[in-house]
A and B are shown apart, each in its own frame.
Chain A
Amino acid sequence: MEKHHINALKEIVGEENVLTSAEDLYCYSYDATPGHAHMPDAVVSPANTAETSKILKLANENHIPVYTRGSGTNLSAGCVPTKGGIVLLMTRLNKILEVDLENLVAVAEPGVIVADLNKEIASLGLIYPPDPGTVATATLGGTVAENAGGLRGLKYGVSKHYVMGLEVVLANGDIMNTGGKNVKDVSGYDMTKLFTGSEGTLCVITKIISKLVPAPEAKKAMMAIFKDLDNAGKAVSAIIAAKIIPATLEIMDNATIRTVEDYAKVGLPLDAEAVLLIEVDGNPIVVEKEAEKVMEALKANHADLVQIAKDDAERDKLWAARRAALPALAKLRPTTYVEDATVPRNKVPDFLREVSSIAKKHNVTIGTFGHAGDGNMHPTIVCDIRIPEEMERVYQAMDEMFKAAIALGGTLSGEHGIGLGKLPWMEQQHGLVTMNAMRSIKRALDPNLILNPGKLVGEC
């Protein structure tokens, strides 16, 4: 980037909102993904849509790459400025513009922290369900762009199930509106869904119209411990077959159980092959009934121990194990990859077994936990990125893991997105025809390939 570009950017957003010192640039060279870092030429934070539009127009005319960034907590190198250029920091657009109670809709800017939106609407008895592990730091824009999910994804789905409309700025600076407050809307291509999950490669999101839902009145949590992984798998199927959709249905494998126990001492047996944590929510009477049925399904499938939380304090205790999973694993070694391979839910036990044999084969530490109810697994690899020999083995294991997921009819990502991290396997999952179609969309909307170039669909 040249000096006059920087000056032009300063004119658009003001001197103090363009960062160019080596120290500041270094701080925007990474996100939460290990192993990817690159310095941008400038970090620019606009105050509104108009400024965003001007920045993109300038970048487009001068073929300067633009990497949109929220809080930079993504796990797919989505906002690493791999080719230099502009990091477009959206955190100053942080206003909740409207909470429309008659339509149960919120209109907000992309820099709003997801947990802040939820705080704002809690007193109205409403929730915005997508709740990634980073809900207290991630931005609405980042979660929508990443199509983020979370713990209650089984019942409530991921971001795309809540985004009703968007205001976006296209690569050339044009401002475009999609969708709106209509509950039913089948007018034309579903651009809203296309942009949701586009990971900063098709547009910059500047406004989000999202659906809100009533907060569940009651919750009930249960935990079951299984000495045999297959029984855990059967219990999951039995719960779903009983037509119960819990808000949360989580699983931890043996490696994770041992690590958690070692670190948090929550009382899990070290020889257990799986722990299931289930939470049902909704109307208090229904919740009681569903909890009973879940308990029956767990017992019928030979759970070795089942516990049900009687009150909030007990619910907290049950959750402690699941909450400790990532911290416990992350503390083992310096580098932590939280992967996101997803399989059809009836294939969860098969996948867990595959992962643990891959881990053994390559002598890498992988603990798997995740959302058993929707098949979204988080095999978490801990290693030390500074040891090249170890990393060779890690990459091998990763490769086999993703191939295994695809072979089981699964997908590379249930919620974290593709970015750069999962790119190598994209064609394997989708085939050339689909990849070409995706690349055509990219080229049509961003002919100069300035938006997050090289990510999601690769070079095109």
Chain B
Amino acid sequence: MTEKITAKDINEQDKALLSDLQDALANCMKCGNCMEVCPVYKEVGKEAAVARGKLSLMEGVLKGSIPLSAAFDAAMSKCVSCKACTAKCPCGVPADELILRGRQAAVKARGLHPIKKKVFALLKNRHLFDFSLRMAGIFGPLSFKKIPGKMAALARFPMPGMDYKRVTAPFASTPLRSQYPEVIKVDRPTMRVGFFTGCTINYIYTDVGQSVINVLKENNIEVTMPSMQHCCGTPVYMSGDVDSAKILAKHNIETFDSYNFDYIVSACGSCTEAFRIEFPHLFHDDPKMSAMTEKLAKKTYEISEFLIDVVKIDKTKLGPVNATVTMHDPCHMARGIKVTKQPREVLKSIPGLHFVEMKAPDRCCGSGGSFSLGNYELSRKINDKKIADIASTNADTVVTSCGTCRMHLTDGLFQNNMNQDALHVIQVLDRSYKAGHQK
């Protein structure tokens, strides 16, 4: 990461990547409104950390005023992709996406960071990926020390890119998709849905996957988990490696298209966003893929959204869950697919459940996908604010709709010596159905 590459070099490497960027960047009027909402800027306090600064750095590179340096990379990486700046911007500048483009430019010009390169190579090879994550599940107990009573573990040995003290969830000894047949039948199904599990649910939070299946079964829905599905590619895409992201996306699109499902559900805002927004975006200039992608995009729902808007669940079957619950809205739910009402409606339908809103529920928890891997201390600071907000609600449970948020919240609760449960919304609903049967 030493030699400096200038705008001219990247221009030569990939003119197309940068050509329309210039206009988008020029639309930033440098008003600084994004400073109010950027969680990274709030902690770092430097202009290079806020969207305005990052966009002007890109402008500077394009103009040839500053080099495409390691410091440029570092600035681009200081972004949790929470989209708060974009939502706030009076000029409609899609800053979060432009920052990804900045990363892409850096990747094109400088190549991926060697560690990420290895991980992503692994991601692209589905069999190898599956194998190594299963191994991690089986041998996990060797490298992780379990924390009693929690779906969490503390890394025992320092792992590459992983902070020593950090609490993560252990890999499941049996991935979700290996726990079930590919098609989970019900008597007289009302519809057939494909469940995109995503990596987090398949390999780590199998408990969430089980709840999704239970809840769908309760509603007479046949669930299929296509065995050939693969990671949605979001982490790869976010790091600026578009080519790899496209390979993963194409694989998933073709896999899900071949089943002809009534609907596709996922239990993660980012996964839903991938199917709904990112995939069409990736293939917008490929007519054949584009048609297929658009068709799938229209069928894809996040689980709470699906249950409320499409299935319209029968609330009389729900039994009491005595808990005080607060909710964190993942960035990609709140500002990506804009689903915030439905998970609340799910919770509010549950008898006995006391729902308390926290301050700024849609403020980023600091996880930001793989952001927290490279910037753990910073992501902790952002998270500490969230944990303080959770604490002030006096809730005994915090729910969310994203695996990485749940993991980050769990870690935050642990680091702050708090013993609230961090769950997925759907797990609470699952409990309520179970309680309903005991009535």
A331 interfacial by beta-carbon distance below 8 Å: yes
Contact yes or no, A331 B92, CB < 8 A? yes
How many A-B Cβ pairs are below 8 Å? 82
What range describes how many residues of A lie at the interface? 35 or more
Q: A21-B71, A23-B75, A27-B47 are in contact. Are A137 and B91 (CB under 8 A)?
A: no
B72 interfacial by beta-carbon distance below 8 Å: yes
A254 interfacial by beta-carbon distance below 8 Å: no
B69 interfacial by beta-carbon distance below 8 Å: yes
Docked CA distance A207–B119 (Å) = 51
Which of B52-60, B108-116, B213-221, B248-256 touches A? Answer: B52-60
Contact yes or no, A32 B29, CB < 8 A? yes
Docked CA distance A10–B398 (Å) = 44
Docked CA distance A26–B57 (Å) = 7
* Chain B residues within 8 Å of A32, by CB: 29-32
* Chain B residues within 8 Å of A134, by CB: 31-33
Contact yes or no, B60 A26, CB < 8 A? yes
Contact yes or no, A23 B48, CB < 8 A? yes
Docked CA distance A386–B25 (Å) = 12
Q: A71-B35, A137-B35, A330-B91 are in contact. Are A23 and B72 (CB under 8 A)?
A: yes
* Chain A residues within 8 Å of B330, by CB: none
A226 interfacial by beta-carbon distance below 8 Å: no
A107 interfacial by beta-carbon distance below 8 Å: no
* Chain B residues within 8 Å of A331, by CB: 27, 90-92
B437 interfacial by beta-carbon distance below 8 Å: no
The A314-336 residues at the B interface (CB cut-off 8 A) are 326-327, 330-331, 334-336
What range describes how many residues of B lie at the interface? 20 to 34
Interface string of B54-92 (1 = CB under 8 A from A): 001100100001110101100100000000000000111
A351 interfacial by beta-carbon distance below 8 Å: no
A354 interfacial by beta-carbon distance below 8 Å: no
How far, in Å, is A188 (CB) from chain B's closest CB? 37
Interface string of A24-50 (1 = CB under 8 A from B): 101111111110000000000100000
Contact yes or no, A27 B53, CB < 8 A? yes
Contact yes or no, A335 B29, CB < 8 A? yes
* Chain A residues within 8 Å of B65, by CB: 26
How far, in Å, is B99 (CB) from chain A's closest CB? 14
A384 interfacial by beta-carbon distance below 8 Å: yes
Q: A27-B53, A92-B45 are in contact. Are A334 and B60 (CB under 8 A)?
A: no
- Interface SS of chain A: loop
Contact yes or no, A384 B26, CB < 8 A? yes
Identify the interface centre among A28, A334, A385, A386: most chain B CB within 10 Å of its CB.
A334
* Chain A residues within 8 Å of B71, by CB: 21-24
Docked CA distance A233–B48 (Å) = 45
CB closest residue in chain B, given A263: B92
* Chain B residues within 8 Å of A330, by CB: 29, 90-91
B286 interfacial by beta-carbon distance below 8 Å: no
Interface string of A115-148 (1 = CB under 8 A from B): 1000000000000000000101110000000000
* Chain B residues within 8 Å of A386, by CB: 26
* Chain A residues within 8 Å of B33, by CB: 134, 136-137
A453 interfacial by beta-carbon distance below 8 Å: no
A19 interfacial by beta-carbon distance below 8 Å: yes
10 smallest beta-carbon distances between A and B, as pairs: A327-B90, A27-B47, A334-B26, A136-B36, A73-B32, A27-B53, A23-B71, A137-B35, A330-B91, A336-B29
Interface residues of A (CB under 8 A from B): 19, 21-24, 26-34, 45, 71-73, 91-92, 115, 134, 136-138, 326-327, 330-331, 334-336, 384-386
Interface residues of B (CB under 8 A from A): 23, 26-27, 29-33, 35-36, 45-48, 53, 56-57, 60, 65-67, 69, 71-72, 75, 90-92
A-B contact pairs, 7 of them (CB 8 A): A27-B53, A29-B56, A32-B30, A33-B30, A71-B35, A334-B26, A335-B29
Beyond A28-B47, A32-B29, A330-B90, list 19 extra A-B contacts (CB 8 Å): A22-B69, A23-B60, A23-B66, A23-B75, A24-B47, A24-B71, A26-B60, A27-B53, A29-B56, A30-B30, A30-B56, A32-B30, A33-B30, A72-B47, A115-B36, A134-B31, A331-B27, A334-B27, A384-B26
